[in-house]
Amino acid sequence: MEASARETKAFLRPREITTAVNLLRLILAYCLGDRGLRSIAAWATSIGLADISNVALLYRLQHCGDWLTLLVGQALAEAQPKASRGRLIRIIDGTTVPKAGRQAKARNGVWRIHSAFDLPRERFGFFELTDEKGGERLDRIPVLAGEIRIADRAYLQPDRIAAVLEASGDIVVRAGWKSARWCDGEGVPVDLLAVFRKAAARGLIDQPIWIAQRSAPALKLRLIAVKRPTEVAEAAKRKARQAARKGGHRISEQTLAAAEWVILITSLSPDSFAASDVLALYRLRWRIELAFKRLKSLIGLKGPPGNDERSARAYILAHLLVILLLEPVIDEFEDSPHWAQAA
C-alpha cells in the first residue's frame, strides 16, 4: 500500500496524514459517505486519524486518481480467472453517472464506466473510465484466449468483432435487422426480413451469415434468430412504437415485423454449441445489469459532487475499488439466484 501510493505520488511524505492506509480511509470516507470535505476533515481530527483542513483533503483527493487506478487494477489481477470449458464468459456493457455542474448537465455530460462481468465467478473483471466521448467498443477490453464475449446490439461492430476473433475469443452479440450489411458467401446482400418470412412456421433460424467490414473481407459468422411468443412480440412492438413517437418519426412495417424476432450473431460453432445453447448464453446478459444495480445501490455510486475532473475520477474509482473488495462476500447476504441456475 505504501509503495504503490509513493509510486503514483499520491503519498510522498508523512505530514498531516501519517500513512497511505490513513489516506485511503479518508478518501473512502468522503467518496462513499454523504458528508462534505469540511465534515470529513473534522471527523478525521476528532478520532485522531489526521489533522487536516478541507482544502488539503481536496488536494489529496485530486492527486490520488492514479493510485486508485493502480489499486483497482491489482484487485482485478488477483482474481483474474483462467479460460476453460468451462469457457470464461464475459458480459460486456457500460453504465454512466452524470457530471456535476450546470454546463455539464446542459450538454448531457457523463462519466462512462466500461465494464466486463465474468462468469461463472460473478465478478467484475475489467473497468475503464472515460467521459461521454469514450464510445462503447467491443474490443476495448483485452481479450483472454478462449473467452466467450456477450454483448447487446450497441456492440454490433464488425471491425471490433474481427479484432476479438483474431485474439482467439468468441462472441455472442444481439443484432438489429438493419444494423449491419448482411450478405452471403458471394457478397450478395441478404434480406433478413425475407429470411424471417421463410422461417416463420418453424420459428427458428440457424445459418451462416456474412457481415461486411469497412476495409476487409466480409466476416463469416452464424445467424441465430428465434421468434418471440405472441404476447412478448406485441410488447416489443408497443415499445418500438413508443420509441418512434418519442423520436418524432413513424415506425416502418419492416421494423414491426423484425420486432417479432430475437436476432443474435455468434462465432460459436454449431458442432459445439446448439442454437439453444447460444440463446441460453445470451440470456445471461442480465447478470451485468444486476451488478450495476449493486454498484449504484449497495455501494451508492452516483454522480461525483464536484466538477473538477481529478476529484471526480478519484470519487468513481473509490467506488469501483470497494465493489471489487465486497464482491467475494456479496453472495453471503444476497438472495439473487446463481447464474447457472438462471441459465
Could you read off the pLDDT of 35-49 as tens digits, one per residue?
A: 888 999 999 899 988
Instruction: Indicate the average pLDDT of the chain.
Output: 87
Q: Parallel, antiparallel, or unpaired: how do β-strands 148-151 and 89-98 relate? A: parallel
For residue 246, pLDDT over 60 is answered with yes
Q: How far is CA 169 from each of CA 81, 208, 269, 331, 343, rounded to the nearest angstrom?
A: 15, 18, 13, 29, 21
238: Cα within 13 Å, side-chain hemisphere: 6
pLDDT at 86: 66
For residue 228, pLDDT over 70 is answered with yes
Question: Rounded distance, CA 235 to CA 246, Å?
Answer: 17
Task: Specify whether the CB–CB gap between 20 and 2 falls below 8 A.
Answer: yes
Is 9 exposed, middle or buried, given 0-12, 13-18 or 19+ CB atoms closer than 10 A? exposed
For residue 170, pLDDT over 90 is answered with yes
Q: Which three cell numbers stand for residue 46?
A: 476528532
Rounded to the nearest 10 degrees, what angle do helices 54-62 and 309-330 cross at?
A: 80
Is 273 exposed, middle or buried, given 0-12, 13-18 or 19+ CB atoms closer than 10 A? buried
User: 239 in helix, strand or coil?
Assistant: helix
Q: In this predicted model, what pLDDT tens digit does every residue of 192-214 receive, in sequence order? A: 999 999 999 999 999 999 999 98
What b/e readout covers 87-113, taking b as 16+ CB neighbours within 10 angstroms? bbbbbbbbbebebbeeebeeeebbbbb
Give the residues across from 171 on adjacent strands.
149
Q: In this predicted model, what pLDDT tens digit does every residue of 98-150 receive, in sequence order? A: 988 777 777 888 999 999 999 877 889 899 999 889 999 999 999 988 999 99
DSSP class per residue in 96-153: EEEPPSHHHHHTT-EEEEEEEEEETTTEEEEEEEEETTS---TTSSPPPTT-EEEE-G
Q: In this predicted model, what pLDDT tens digit does every residue of 51-104 receive, in sequence order? A: 889 898 898 889 998 999 888 888 877 765 555 446 889 999 999 999 887 777
At residue 153 the predicted structure's pLDDT band, cuts being 50, 70 and 90, is very high
Domain boundaries, the chain: 1-63, 80-148+285-343, 153-281
Task: Specify whether the CB–CB gap between 228 and 262 falls below 8 A.
Answer: yes
Q: Which three cell numbers stand for residue 184?
A: 452471403
pLDDT at 106: 76
CB contact set of 330 (below 8 Å; sequence gap of 6+)? 294, 298
User: Which of 290, 231, 230, 233 is CA-nearest to residue 263?
Assistant: 233
Quote the DSSP letter at residue 34.
Answer: S
User: What backbone torsions phi and psi does residue 246 show, to the nearest 5 degrees?
Assistant: -65, -35
| Torsion angle of C-alpha atoms 16, 19, 21, 27, degrees rounded to 10 | 30
For residue 336, pLDDT over 50 is answered with no
